[in-house]
Amino acid sequence: MIKIAIPCSCNNTIEEYFEKGQQYLLITIINNIIVNKELIKITGGCAFKTNVLEILNNHKIKLLLVNSISEKINCLLNYYGIAIIKNCKGDINNLIDLYLSGDLELLNKKELEQQIN
């Protein structure tokens, strides 16, 4: 079982910056099958002003799909044991399908290699 969180905007796309996220889709996956989806709303402003990291930890999130994230938040997520796949863009349902097929990690790795070269 793995629990994934995705910061989402109001148009069912991933939020551009994790720190600006005010709602998160929490997904529980068992044997590569989605068994639960829950949308939670975070009030109080950006990630630095809210307890979003503690909320994700309390929900036992182990993976976060994000587009962009600050290094400070990245370090804090590592402290909580939450892995991150960065540079995720677009429709949330498409991202979930890419993750379930194993293609999201491959796309992310290729994009990172292109940034290095």
Q: Taking the domains of the chain in order of start, what are their residue ranges?
A: 2-116
Mean pLDDT of the chain: 86
Cα dist from 7 to 43, 73, 77, 115, whole Å: 13, 14, 14, 24
Q: Which two tokens stand for residue 84?
A: 């991150």
- What's the pLDDT tens digit per position in 27-68? 999 999 999 999 998 876 655 556 888 899 999 999 999 999
CB atoms within 10 A of CB 89: 14
Q: Average pLDDT for residues 10-38, to the nearest whole number?
A: 93
Q: Grade residue 116 by pLDDT with cuts at 50, 70 and 90.
A: very low
pLDDT of the residue at 115: 47
pLDDT of the residue at 109: 55
- What's the pLDDT tens digit per position in 84-102? 999 999 999 999 999 999 8
Contact in structure between 47 and 73 (CB atoms under 8 Å): yes
Please tell me the distance from the alpha carbon of residue 87 to that of residue 114, in angstroms, as a whole number.
12
pLDDT at position 83 over 80: yes
Q: Which CATH architecture has domain 2-116?
A: 2-Layer Sandwich (3.30)
**Strand ranges (DSSP E) for 10-117?**
23-30, 33-41, 63-65, 83-85
**What pTM did the predictor assign?**
0.85
End-to-end Cα spacing for the chain: 35
